[in-house]
């Protein structure tokens, strides 16, 4: 429900009015608030509603913004990068999260340490989102296409013809 309402009302509005960089950073910042709230108020109900909020924002805001990042790329680059990110990147992140959870063997340890660990990861994510968004913005302004053949400079002989 949240994703559907946001998709119809909010995604285009946010991207058009606030820009891609803001929207790319908005999701991890929202996630940080949710993580902090869950960390300070641990209960099954808080976890349930947090997952609804996270999934809704992911589908409605984060995923469209990630797709927009592929616009200044060739189809070949998009295919290769997207395949690698979806297959390797997603699975590596899930694996890393599972390894962290496995090291924190008790519920008390999970409750005490996952909040700070997640907030640290989100801090790095915000930095990467800022860099990626600004780089994308610059490429779009300069009409640079990642993976495109560089334009050849005009031949000195072309002036003679």
Q: Summarize pLDDT for 29-44 with one digit per residue, the tens.
A: 999 999 999 888 888 8
Give the chain's count of helices (H) and strands (E).
8, 0
Output the pLDDT for position 78.
Answer: 82
What is the reported pTM? 0.77
Q: What's the confidence (pLDDT) of residue 89?
A: 81
Closest by CA to 66, choosing from 101, 6, 18, 15, is: 15
Asked whether the beta carbons of 72 and 140 are under 8 A apart, the reply is yes
- pLDDT over threshold 60, residue 161: no
């Amino acid at each position: 429900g949240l994703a559907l309402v946001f998709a119809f009302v909010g995604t285009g509005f946010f991207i058009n009015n606030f820009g891609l960089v803001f929207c790319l950073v908005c999701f991890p910042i929202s996630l940080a608030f949710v993580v902090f709230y869950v960390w300070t108020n641990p209960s099954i109900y808080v976890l349930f509603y947090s997952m609804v909020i996270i999934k809704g924002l992911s589908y409605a805001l984060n995923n469209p913004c990630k797709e927009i990042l592929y616009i200044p790329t060739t189809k070949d680059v998009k295919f290769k990068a997207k395949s690698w990110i979806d297959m390797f990147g997603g699975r590596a992140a899930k694996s890393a999260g599972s390894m962290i959870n496995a090291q924190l063997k008790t519920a008390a340890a999970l409750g005490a340490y996952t909040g700070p660990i997640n907030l640290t990861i989100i801090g790095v994510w915000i930095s990467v989102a800022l860099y990626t968004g600004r780089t994308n913005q610059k490429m779009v302004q300069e009409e640079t296409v990642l993976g495109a053949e560089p334009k050849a400079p005009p031949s000195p002989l072309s002036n003679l013809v």
